[in-house]
Amino acid sequence: MNLPCVKDYNLLEKIGSGSYSTVYKAFKKNGSHEVVAIKCVDKLNLSKSSIDNIITEINLLKILKHEYIVEMRDFFWDEGHIYIVMEYCNEGDLSNFIKRKSKLAEHVCRKFLQQLALALRYLRDHNVCHMDLKPQNLLLVKKSTLTLKVGDFGFAQYLSGSEACFTIRGSPLYMAPEILLRHKYDARVDLWSVGVIMYECLFGRAPYSSNSFPELAEKIKDMRPIELPKGSHISNECKDLLSRLLKHNPNERLSYDEFFSHDFLDLEHAPTHENFNHAVELVHKAVKADTKGCRREAYHLYCDALRYFIPILTNESDLQKKEALRIKVNEYIKRAETLKDLCVEINKSMQVNLSQETSHQDKKQTLPKGDFFDKNVCINFNELCKLSRSTTGMADALDIGKAAEEYLLEGNYELALEKFQSSLKILVPLLGKEPPGRRRDLLSKQIHKWMQEAENTKSFLITKNPITLKFLFLRIVKTFNLNPPLINCLAMIIMKSNIFR
């Protein structure tokens, strides 16, 4: 195939095409010879609306600079074409990646969605709506880790969260129902597209996969319920986000704020530059508290910092930086464990002292065994238990929370976290209905304490339980059907690459 001649660039191969453009892999003749992607737009076949789209795309890409958005390096034109020079994404697009894998594991889906959500948060800050989110427009870059980047802003436009629009834009399979049915719509249309992409990542096909456009339109018009494939297993958090994204009525669909704050994505601890700086700041505070002998405060600060450091560590592409950070993270984990052990010993001795001071009736009540035991906290908890006897649900939830603290003391983090979450699921709604008074004050303090313990427990689970080597090893062996010599070789490689060795 004869490749076109483009000034200052050598074109290597065709890597994609659209209705009025073709994308080529290329490199600049002079300079660093960095590989790029060049989108060549045929000016002769452009309609007025297409010209407007190209102008909008170029203007947007000149402004939008984000690590999860494909970067425009340059643009120019000649008599027949407009050329947009983009960064080259060496792993193709998400659509082909899904086809190669059949479907993606939930943790892989979460990583891609987290990166997509960070890009969308940036776009919302600039009042930009992409309007054509689909796996083909989500490109992948592989360095030491796989990174997703949003590309192709040909249909994008400035659109606030409440501004209504009627223009048909996007690809039918990923298009929000309100666009397809020619109803007024706003920026929430991108959230529907995210839901379809998420569904396709998890199950290997879009929820309304059809053989023709009329068939697709009929399914959407009838608002046919979107069901999970039989035999599929995803977490409750994952299922909740998916179901709330794929609401036909945009008023029932979750908002952008709810999307960005959803537990499944956990953007609060995403591997960003800002979060790295925040983690460093938390460690400095932890060291300062540790030096002063404030073990309880230091422990909480180390755990908070680790929640930020772990995603950053796993996402770091620079091997030298990754190794240096791994060493530091291991130091923080060990110090947090030491602080925890020290405080457990203090807890035990203080519980003995307090039990000698309490009345016979108070002795019958089991003292809460949370980390960093405090006499006043224990007395307040006992008072709260007495005040809650008239409310069955509250009393039961407090017993569950107390059991969580006992499991935590024993080092059973998984069960402790499960009990904390069960308790808080009951107590938090009760707090919202509780009238002002002593019981409300005590309940609020107890909920805050257990929320902190739950977060710290989750931090420890993340640091102590990365993907097991056995699971990773078996998945690779099964996928590639390796022979015994290669299995032995692979086992050695995985053992040496374990970041927490």
The amino acid that residue 488 corresponds to is N
State phi, psi for 40 to the nearest 5 degrees.
-100, 115
132 is catalytic: yes
Instruction: Please choose, from the candidates 85, 200, 226, 183, the residue with its C-alpha nearest in 3D space to the C-alpha of residue 133.
Output: 200
Inter-residue contact 423 to 410 (CB < 8 Å): no
Instruction: Please choose, from the candidates 193, 456, 488, 194, the residue with its C-alpha nearest in 3D space to the C-alpha of residue 305.
Output: 456
Opening angle at CA 381, ends 378 and 384, nearest 5: 155
Structure-token pair, residue 156: 């994008």
Instruction: Please choose, from the candidates 305, 311, 273, 272, the residue with its C-alpha nearest in 3D space to the C-alpha of residue 288.
Output: 305
Q: Is 149 annotated for ligand binding? A: no
- 3-state SS assignment for residue 158: strand
**What region does 186 belong to: left with phi over 0, alpha with psi -120 to 50, or beta?**
beta
Which segments within 64-169 are labelled E, that is strand? 72-77, 81-87, 128-129, 138-142, 146-150, 157-158
CA separation for the pair 156, 123 (Å, rounded): 10
State phi, psi for 301 to the nearest 5 degrees.
-70, -40
State phi, psi for 168 to the nearest 5 degrees.
-80, 120
Q: Tell me how far the alpha carbon of residue 423 is from its chain's centroid.
A: 25
Structure-token pair, residue 216: 């697709």
CA separation for the pair 46, 20 (Å, rounded): 7
CA separation for the pair 401, 415 (Å, rounded): 11
Catalytic residue among 93, 132, 152, 304: 132
Scanning 316-391, the segments in alpha helix (DSSP H) are 319-357, 360-363, 375-387
Inter-residue contact 452 to 446 (CB < 8 Å): no
Q: What Cα–Cα distance (Å) separates residue 400 from each residue in 120, 132, 164, 413, 491?
A: 39, 47, 48, 15, 42
Q: What Cα–Cα distance (Å) separates residue 62 from each residue in 59, 70, 147, 202?
A: 5, 11, 21, 34
Q: Can you say which residues are annotated as belonging to the binding site?
A: 39
> Which residues are part of a known binding site for ATP?
39
Active site residues: 132
